[in-house]
Structure 1
Amino acid sequence: MIEVMIESEKIKIGLVEDQFLFRKGIRAILESNPKLTVVFETGVGYDIDRQLNEHSTTPDVLLVDLCLPQDKNHYPYGGMEVTKTVRSKFPDIKILILSVHNEHNFIADLIRHGAHGYLIKDADPQEVIDAILAVHTRGAFINNYTLSAIQQSEVKIIKTQNKNTLKNNDEKLSRREIEILQLICEQMKTEEIANRLFISIKTVNGHRNNLLQKTGARNAAGLVTYAVRHRLYTVD
């Protein structure tokens, strides 16, 4: 039996990419998946708030190129600026950055400012689809490379912080919250965490909300950054 998804049930994607051929190519790849539909695309990011406000359908996930054209005043307005604007004005939209750059500092800074994931442009098409599904269902896509980038960046911050400060921050979290935080770092879904710990989904969501409030993180990716910074989770 062939399962047909209703259009309204599909994950709605927006593309912010200035390279026309790449944008059309990735659109074709995404729309070949029955779970996804592209509802918005643009080649510039500097008026992303206006474009999203004027568009009839708000995307669930934005795929954003890190390097985009300057704004009309010739100021840089790339993926970082788009991330800040969208996180401020459209907090429910998930942001997945696409880039040719793989420098750790780029990745860690974007995650700290609210991006939900980061992919290199030569990623396998299936990885792009997996990343979209991950940020939509789990709130973050943190592959091993991104996790390593966060860890290396946070090591520099850790060295400048007082150990007592780190300890005091950790004491804000209960043992159960730390346990759930570590499972979030493992990219487990809410239902999977509930099953692992023999608790309800509602309880997991309650702990997740407490974690966001206590840590000041913007999203699940921010929780991973917090966990790495406070040595509650490390890359093997």
Structure 2
Amino acid sequence: MTTILIVEDEVRLGDILEEYLRREGYATERAMTGPRALELWRAARPDLMLLDLMLPGMDGLEVARRVRAESTLPIIMMTARDEEVDRLVGLGIGADDYVVKPYSPREVVARVKAVLRRAGGEAGAGGGFGLPTLHHAGPLSVDTATFEVRVNGEALDVTVAEVRLLSALARTPGVVRTRAELLSALGALERGTDERAVDAHVKNLRRKLGVHAELLDTVRGAGYRLRLEG
């Protein structure tokens, strides 16, 4: 059974989310503090984390940083702050999606399903666009079925969103993809989402690619493309 770790210090909100998720057949774990969230993440091995930004003991961004340093666990950030900086910071550390309070529990469940589909490589989601799941561009290979990205055969530690972005680019190496297209591929073309979130993902990917960072090419005023040659 798929397990969702709900990290929320407001008991009523946590109860509502748990009720809706269980109705959909998910198992749940609950944490009300940052340190407890890390404990349950290691002990319960959840399939996805719903992570509030403001938590006692350790805030959600720090929890996400620590999880992301060791794992590609899908993370959906939940925040009462509507400022763009919070969204971009959340995405920049590897969050796969976010919801802003007040939110509909049904919306959260829908986001959970979408992120899990992308993470699992199911048809029409993680497998990306109804096309083959393995894409190559020079030394880069992206496999959305196994959730692996390799450069010259060496695996990179990537997030669900990063796999989605690279898959969209690797399908058509050399072709410029706009930020709107890439945001849609990330599954984040939602109300209030800023296309600059794509820039945050690209920045992280370039860091992870290291000496191969030049594979991700910026086309000023247009978008991004994968170079045909590294």
For the superposition of Structure 1 and Structure 2, which TM-score range results when normalised by the shorter chain? 0.5 to 0.7
Compare relative contact order (CA 8 Å, sep 6+) and give the higher one, 1 or 2.
Answer: 1
Residue 207 of structure 1 is matched in structure 2 by 142
Q: Which runs of 5+ in 1 are unaligned?
A: 1-9, 72-76, 141-183
Given that residues 112 and 222 in structure 1 are in contact (C-alpha distance below 8 angstroms), is that contact kept between their aligned partners in structure 2? Answer: no
In structure 2, which of residues 37, 53, 62 is the aligned counterpart of residue 81 of structure 1? 62
Corresponding residue of 2:158: 218
CA deviation map 1:168-189 (0-9, x unaligned): xxxxxxxxxxxxxxxx9xxx52
- Separation of aligned partners in 2, 1:13 and 1:211: 22
- Indicate the residue corresponding to 1:25 in structure 2: 16
Tell whether the 8 Å contact from 1:212 to 1:219 is kept in structure 2 after alignment. no
Q: 2:4 aligns to what?
A: 13
The answer (yes or no) to whether the contact 1:138–1:189 under 8 Å persists in 2 is: yes
**Distance (whole Å) between structure 1 residues aligned to residue 77 and residue 19 of structure 2:** 18
Query: Structure 1 residues 131 and 86 mapped into 2: Cα distance closer, same or farther (>3 Å)?
Result: same
Work out whether residues 62 and 96 of structure 1, in 8 Å CA contact, stay in contact via their aligned partners in 2: yes
The alignment status of 1:131 with 2:120, answered yes or no, reads no
Does 1:37 find its partner at 2:33?
no
Q: After TM superposition, give the deviation of residue 218 of structure 1 in Å.
A: 2.5
Structure having the higher strand fraction is 2
Residue 102 (structure 1) aligns with: 82
What residue number does 2:191 align with? Answer: none
Change (3 A) 1:68 1:93: same
* Structure (1/2) with the larger helix percentage: 1
Residue 60 of structure 1 contacts residue 92 of structure 1 at CA under 8 Å; is this kept in 2? no
Is residue 30–residue 129 contact of structure 1 (8 Å, CA) maintained in 2?
A: yes
- Please state whether the residue corresponding to 2:95 is helix, strand or coil: coil
- Between structure 1 and structure 2, the one with the greater Rg is 1
Q: Residues 219 and 51 from structure 1, CA distance in 2 versus in 1: closer, same or farther, beyond 3 angstroms?
A: closer
Q: Is the 8 A contact 1:114 1:219 kept in 2?
A: yes
TM-score by length of 2: 0.59
Q: Structure 2 unaligned segments of length 5 or more: list them.
A: 170-175, 182-230
Identity level (%): 20
Contact (CA 8 Å) 2:72, 2:159: kept in 1 or not?
A: no
Q: Write the letter of the residue equivalent to 1:82.
A: V
Name 2:224's counterpart in structure 1: none
Q: 1:27 to 1:190 in 2, by over 3 A?
A: closer
Alignment CA distance shift 1:63-1:138 (3 Å): same
RMSD over aligned CA atoms reads 3.5
Shift of 1:13: 0.6
1:45–1:26 Cα change, 3 Å: same
> Which SS does the other structure have where 2:34 is aligned?
coil
Distance in 2 separating the partners of 1:111 and 1:66: 12
| Residue of structure 2 aligned with 1:234, choices 179, 189, 194 | 179
Match in the other structure for 2:52: 65
- 2:160 partner amino acid: A
For residue 86 of structure 1, report the CA deviation from its aligned partner: 1.2
| Contact kept in structure 2, 1:64 and 1:98, CA below 8 Å | yes
